[in-house]
Chain A
Amino acid sequence: MTAESTGREPLTGAPEGAGADDGFWDAIPEKPSDEELVRLRNLLFRHEIALVERLRELQDNQRYNARKVSESLPEAIQLRTGKDQLMEHSLAPVVDDIVRTLLRKRRGDFVEALFPLMGPSIRKSMAESFRSMLGSFSKSMEMAFSWKGLRWRLEAIRSGKPFSEIVMLNTLVYRVEQIFFIHSQTGIPLVHLAFDEEQGKDADMVSSMFTAIQDFVRDCFAGGDSEGELESLQLGDHTIVVEKGAQAYLACVVRGTPPASFREQLRTTLDSLLLEYAEPLSGFSGDTEPFAGAVHYLDDCLTSHFADDDKKIPWWGKAMPVFLVAALVGAVGLYQYRQVLEDRERQAVERERQAYESKLEEALNALRAAPGLLVINVAAGQGTPREATVLKDALAEAPEDALRRQGYDPDMFAFKVVPFISYDPSIVVRRVQRTISLPDTVSMSFDKGTLSFSGVASLGWIVGARDQARALPGVERVDVSGLRDPAMDRISELIAQVEATVVEFALGKDTPVPEDAPKLQKAVDSLVELENIVKKMGFTVSLVIYGHADATGTDKRNYEISQARTRTVAAMLYGRGSSMSVAMYGMGASYPKDGQKEGQAEQAPKHAGADARGDQSSRRVELRVHVLRSAAADPGILLSQP
């Protein structure tokens, strides 16, 4: 059974107006059944059916609303855009995406569309860059060779800043004397600022005339090319810098050379102004009142960047001449002060050098005074240590020590020592002392080449010392007379005793008279003692025995008997074990005791009162003693008692 098409019977057929595209309703199962079933369905699904009904209505409404919205959307957007920023915020991401997509897909179209816009801007930007680059380049060239440049170089050296920075600082020496913010079409100055109030009086006429002149220039020279604009005018040291905008432009009257950055500043300022005053500019009807606030923008251009002649010279700049004079005076003073200092220093050095030299001389003198040292050469010049050649005796102290001992610095010299033998008395004394060991009992003196000993010493020492001393350099004579050997006294005594002994003999006999026998015995004792003493000293005793006879008898007999008498003495001596050398001379009767017949008194002294006839005193022996150096007996060194 089919449900009647009675309007909006739910779930009984496709709703009205449902198109072929609306398959939802077609999908509802249409399964007509009996009344009960329908009723049951209505009972069971009453709420659901109502819900479905409401959904359908909603969908219809949406379609309707979309149509309505499409009609009012542009207006709605327009309204909302005027009200707040929400619309922009909502649409921005969408538009963003769209633009991106379009850029990707239709790049060519965009390039074509943008090129006419970009080309001129890029050209202008590049031209601007080139101009500023050339400007600074030519400025640098100018600075490099001018007096000003030189001054700035000095300034750079003085201040330690890079030269380029100095140039930059100085290039800023300019003054923006007037600045016009001019409405392009009318030439009416919207704002005018002047450094000098007087100049501001006819700003409107100046501004208009200037605008007219620009038109004139453009018309005359640009030949209808609307891109051509007058950008600057040069008049003496004034430059009129023009920065053009669509509806208004800036014109600055600048004294001096503005830096390239000034134009950039103008551009920025103008851009700000054009943005800020876009509305009053587009509807400009001659009322400059709305532009009053632009003064603040322009003030920056007029004040913060103009460098007034007075201001650009800072206080230290004004004080520069004073500084320079002070610096000059200071420099001269400093120079002279340094000269004085240097003089002083030089003098001090000279004094020091002289002091050193005199010290050297003193040291040399001390060295010359030192015994056994002879300074023969000192190197000329000023080097330290000074080279010195010194002759030095082996016994002299080292020159270094000599200096040190006397309080001089030995490092002042570098010594070259040459050995030599000194005859300096003190060195000679030292040499003697070193060669001969003096016993405590001996003292020594040296004077004018004569070495004198005095005191007590053994004979052996005395002889040895005398011989050694004679061989020493510097010793010319040796005097040992001041020396005394205690043993010598005994020796002398014994010798005297022996030599004083006269032993008489009986007539015709070779034996002593009984009264003289002890005398002979005593003499032999003395000789033995003497021999013992001198033997210890390295000497030997040599004995000479003279035998005499009286005049009685023949000469032959007399000679024999006198000789026999000498043998008696020698026999006694040998009988005592002596080994001394004995010389025996039988003198006969030629030397009587009391008179010397043949004048040989020394050898045979005569007894006083002896007669020619048998004087007992003539029958005698006499002894003479010599002490000789032992073994290698040297008659030259015979030591006999003086």
Chain B
Amino acid sequence: MICKKICMLGAFAVGKSALVEQFVHSIFSDKYLSTVGVKISKKNVSVEGKDVSLILWDMEGRDLYVDANLSYLRGAMGFFVVADGTRRETLETALDLRKAAHDAVGNIPSCLLINKDDLSGMWEVTESMLENIAGQGIRYIRTSAKTGLAVEEAFSTLTRDMLRHAG
């Protein structure tokens, strides 16, 4: 069995928990998020004929991450950084977090999820911003925790990357 530790980073209320709750299995309640600062969930995916168990470390949404929180990143084999498409500052936070995470744990596979695609009419994140991100070599996926858009795809993509990375 292959297990991968992945982290979910993101600013407050960007829908990380929603993404996780909808599509993954957890035995812990949300209160861990506010107490311990992290909540563990699990997602089984099958990629390229391999069954992979993703252990998701859903981290408390903060606007300003402190070292304590980043310590949960230790040993992560990949991470999602989540932004809320309707709030532009969350994307900035996400990018900051992404950078901080890479600084902390090195060059591991990651994926930027821009959530709340179902509310696309209210998006503050513009296409040009997205192009800019893509231009930096940062892969992003537009997801919707509400509709389930691209959520499975996001997990599969990251898993595939991680498998290749571990290669």
Q: Report whether B72 and A215 are in contact in the complex, using a CB–CB cutoff of 8 Å.
A: yes
13 A-B residue pairings within 8 Å (CB atoms): A186-B3, A186-B5, A187-B55, A188-B55, A189-B3, A205-B26, A208-B40, A209-B28, A209-B40, A213-B36, A216-B36, A287-B3, A287-B166
Q: Report whether A286 and B77 are in contact in the complex, using a CB–CB cutoff of 8 Å.
A: yes
Most buried by B among A183, A184, A209, A287: A209
Sorting the interface of chain B by its residue count into under 10, 10 to 19, 20 to 34 or 35 or more gives 20 to 34
- With the chains together, A375 CA to B90 CA distance in Å? 133
Q: Report whether B42 and A205 are in contact in the complex, using a CB–CB cutoff of 8 Å.
A: yes
Instruction: List which B48-71 residues lie within 8 A (CB) of chain A.
Output: 52-53, 55, 57, 67-68, 71
Interface check B162, CB cutoff 8 A: yes
Interface check A212, CB cutoff 8 A: yes
Query: Which A residues touch B42, using CB under 8 A?
Result: 202, 204-205
Report which B residues bind A (CB closer than 8 A).
Answer: 1-5, 26-28, 32, 36-42, 52-53, 55, 57, 67-68, 71-72, 74-77, 162, 165-166
Consensus secondary structure, chain B interface = mixed
Query: Which A residues touch B26, using CB under 8 A?
Result: 205
Query: Which B residues touch A347, using CB under 8 A?
Result: none
Q: Report whether B28 and A205 are in contact in the complex, using a CB–CB cutoff of 8 Å.
A: yes
Minimum C-beta distance from A225 to chain B (A): 13
Interface check A219, CB cutoff 8 A: yes
- With the chains together, A183 CA to B41 CA distance in Å? 17
Query: Which A residues touch B165, using CB under 8 A?
Result: 285
Query: Which B residues touch A209, using CB under 8 A?
Result: 28, 32, 36, 38-40
Q: Which residue of the partner chain B has the closest CB to A202?
A: B27
Number of interface residues of A (CB under 8 A): 24
Q: Contact mask A183-204 → B, CB, 8 Å, 1/0?
A: 1111111000000000000101
Q: Report whether B41 and A216 are in contact in the complex, using a CB–CB cutoff of 8 Å.
A: no
Name the contact of A219 in the complex, choosing from B2, B55, B71, B76 (C-beta under 8 A): B71
- With the chains together, A206 CA to B165 CA distance in Å? 26
Would A286 and B27 be within 8 Å (CB), given that A186-B55, A205-B41, A215-B74 are in contact? no
Q: Report whether A286 and B3 are in contact in the complex, using a CB–CB cutoff of 8 Å.
A: yes
- Give me the 4 closest cross-chain CB pairs, A-B, nearest first: A185-B75, A285-B166, A186-B75, A186-B5
Q: Report whether A208 and B27 are in contact in the complex, using a CB–CB cutoff of 8 Å.
A: no
Minimum C-beta distance from A136 to chain B (A): 34
Minimum C-beta distance from B22 to chain A (A): 17
- With the chains together, A22 CA to B2 CA distance in Å? 69
Query: Which A residues touch B74, using CB under 8 A?
Result: 185-186, 215
Instruction: List which A200-238 residues lie within 8 A (CB) of chain B.
Output: 202, 204-206, 208-209, 212-213, 215-216, 219-220
- With the chains together, A204 CA to B37 CA distance in Å? 18
- With the chains together, A598 CA to B119 CA distance in Å? 207
Interface check A602, CB cutoff 8 A: no
Interface check A4, CB cutoff 8 A: no
Would A215 and B55 be within 8 Å (CB), given that A187-B5, A202-B42, A205-B40 are in contact? no
Q: Report whether A212 and B72 are in contact in the complex, using a CB–CB cutoff of 8 Å.
A: yes
